[in-house]
Chains A and B, each alone.
Chain A
Amino acid sequence: MGHQDGDAPPEANPDDTALKLQGISKIYPGTVALHKVNINVKKGEVHGIIGKNGAGKSTLVEIIAGITTPTAGKIFIGGEGYDSLSRIDARRKKIAIVPQEPQLILDFTVAENLFISDYTRWGWLINWQGLYTRAEEIVKKANLHINVRVRAGDLSVSEQQLLLVLKACYVEQSDIIILDEASASLAQRDEELLYRIIRERKGGGCTILFISHRAEELLKVCDRVTVLRDGHSISTKNCRELDRDKLSDLIVGEKFCRHIKVDQGQLKKDLGETVLAVENLTRLGVYQEISFQLKKGEILGLAGLRGSGRTEIFRGIVGIDHPDEGTIFVNGQRRCYRSPAAALGDGIVYLPEDREREGLISNLSVRENLMLNALDTVKRGLLLNRSKESRAVADLIKELDIKVASPEQEVNQLSGGNKQKVVVGKIAAAGPQIFLLDEPTRGVDISAKQGILNIVRNSLCREAGIVITSPGLEDLINICDRILVLHRGRITGEFLRGNLRESDLFSAVQGGAQEKCPGLVASYVS
């Protein structure tokens, strides 16, 4: 895959460059997150970084902020070169970062959270009055209406996020401010505040790195934008030369990468009866009025940005976080699960997106993890039949092509892709009738991804219905019979397998569908 620097002037006068990345690579066990990325950020500009989920945006930003160290490459700040930065180095170089998830000390007041790294002091004592006064000034300056004496935990998530932006912009007095998906958790009216703060800081001579996966927002806020795709820096462009479609094409890539051999036109006609029907499922503030049906043998994709409610819908169905309203029908019978154990009893399994924390028991062996859900199938009376179990495990390992030295190997010794296959094997072993797969291809390399998608397409869906989400839309396009588009917690569109284009889907996921037919569920069936 080629990568050029676009129209960025690489030989520009060094005083003009605030930050330069040269050949930055980051390898994680089993996957390459960044591959020789070059970026040149000018002083005083708002520089956007955009890419699909898993393109490497967050890793890149963490390297700049000194949170992770790169495997190779050099970072230049104000003309000085570094192999890697520590967080303290980065702070000394006046680089501030607002991370994706608001990270505050919830029991401290708003004012204290703002000044946690830099208390206003009288000698050894904290000057509380001064602290509150300064905090009030800052909050006022940003036109925010928050009482600085309340607990940070009492603010809404959106306000918490803004608070961190304020801290980075006004308290830390940084030269380079990184906003990592800062707008993702903002309420709509707070977005305008954010944009105003950005403009104000830019006027004050700050350089701002703005990371987002929303093309439109980026075009509105940024001067220049760098596109990342699969860990490569594709190009850097001036925003004036771009519109949303052009940017979408850059993000998705000219040629569609097809990893799986399936007939594009083939639409399964012989689907079984409806196994899962969801009606008006609502969890206030998270997802609203979600309705869909899933047939046996069908693969249904849920496409949506992070925070669009994909994960939460799954969790609602299996009974981890209960929905406020709505009904779930399994095989035509009304069901409401209180726990995943109850859902498993009806043959519904959920593959969580966070495999380390929620998917695997990392200090147990591959065998023990694989059979965790399916011990009933290898029981003889009360006891486990070890030889039957070994055979079942061997079959799973072979079918999923898991690379292990032995089934007794501890699962945390495997690479990311093989770990993910273990999780898939674990939920498949019980022989369920409904799979809810939340990003089964997240953070795995290309061959493991292909393997997992093949298994989903060719074997899992034979006896069951599947709902799946994926970090990459092309995965969904490749394997799904039907794709529902989620935007801000609502279903806003439906695509059927056929001649759909990735860029259409991409723009629908970005919220395009809503604009075209407000109030209606747009249909892209062709």
Chain B
Amino acid sequence: MPRKLQIELFLLDNLIWVLLACFFLLNALITPMFATYGNLVNILYHSAIMSMLVLGQGLILVSGHLDLSLESTLVFAPGVAMLLATRWLPFQLDPVTTIILTLAIGALVGLFNGVCIAKIGVNPFLQTLSLMIILRGLVLFLVPLSIFPLDKVYTFAGQARMIGNIPVAVPIVFIIFLFFHFIMQYTAFGRHFVATGGNARASYISGINTGRMVIYAFVIAGFLAAVAGLLAAGRQDSVSNTMGEGMVMLAFAGAILGGASLEGGKGTPLGMLGGALLLGMISNSLNLLGVGVTLVYATQGALIFVAIVLDRIRIKRRNYLLHREQVRRLLIQEQGG
């Protein structure tokens, strides 16, 4: 394969980092106060919650499905865990148990989704749409306003800062991304997971338990949504019933910008981190430029659109390049023979 083609393919496959670099340079030049230490830390901090949803959504996309209920799991898990810890049980739970409970509830919601989709064969869109509404409704019923204040230990992950004024949330998020990147690349589980999304039929025939892979995908995503809920609750020192509203669509945008595809089998966790950072950077720069809140929302919508179009263009361009290469090789063969 010619070197030029290789480079072009490499750039297409890592489009997110190219975009991120371009956007960073652009902002560093035109946006005041953008390229300061404080602001960059701020971007990372504000991306943390969204990035967990992006990773969850991205992994589900890799497995060939989608999950709309993540944004409701984000509030449902900490909400129910908190209620259990403080009201429903005859005794008080300690904060660490509550944290574990939060994560477990997220994973259980995912398990329910996964089992319905993989075993009963419910359409993933309809399944998670209904769960999104059910969970949000339950939270509105159970938590009329918000639960506060929360325990220091419970809010530690979302609120505490460490050396250099870096929020604890930032390294936590980075470690989680690296962990999943490692799992996807270096374990048999990860490879079977990606293969299932790439071609479920072929994977099944190859002897992969594809149903189980799909269930794992939803469990992991539910778990990550609960982590996001933990960070969100920690940051605002309360569990409010509107947490996470409208975030799932942006999570799609982030995951697709990060290299995932609705067709499944594509994308890496590190790419998704790039997608999440790009989302955070865009909303940060719009803030700094003084764009109104309502317009920011429209801009985010535009962003989803751009993400989808870019994904199509990228795939088209890629197929075109590869097809041209094949034809070229065939012609060489013809001339040679």
Contact = CB atoms under 8 A, between A and B. Distances in A.
Contacts of B325: 413
Which are the 8 A-B pairs with shortest beta-carbon distances? A344-B207, A375-B188, A361-B198, A361-B199, A341-B207, A340-B207, A361-B195, A341-B209
A343 B209 CA distance: 11
B281 interface: no
A349 B209 CA distance: 14
Interface of A: 27, 29, 318, 320, 339-341, 343-345, 349-350, 352, 357-364, 368, 371-373, 375-376, 379, 382-384, 386, 405, 409-410, 412-413, 426-427
B136 interface: no
A468 B209 CA distance: 25
Contacts of A379: 188
Nearest to A28: B330
B199 A350 contact: no
15 contacts: A29-B326, A339-B204, A341-B208, A358-B205, A361-B199, A362-B199, A368-B194, A372-B195, A373-B206, A376-B188, A383-B186, A384-B187, A384-B191, A409-B1, A413-B326
A476 B159 CA distance: 70
Contacts of A384: 186-188, 191
Interface in B137-195: 186-188, 191-192, 194-195
A193 B262 CA distance: 47
B241 to A, nearest CB: 40
Nearest to B182: A383
A427 B207 CA distance: 10
B265 A363 contact: yes
B202 A357 contact: yes
B191 A340 contact: no
A115 to B, nearest CB: 32
B302 to A, nearest CB: 28
B122 interface: no
B265 A360 contact: no
Given A376-B188, A383-B186, A360 B199 contact: yes
A361 B265 CA distance: 8
A413 B6 CA distance: 13
B187 A364 contact: no
Nearest to B203: A361
Contacts of B192: 372, 375
Contacts of B326: 29, 413
Contacts of A405: 1
A317 to B, nearest CB: 12
Interface string B270-298: 00000000000000000000000000000
Contacts of B198: 361-364
Contacts of A320: 204-205
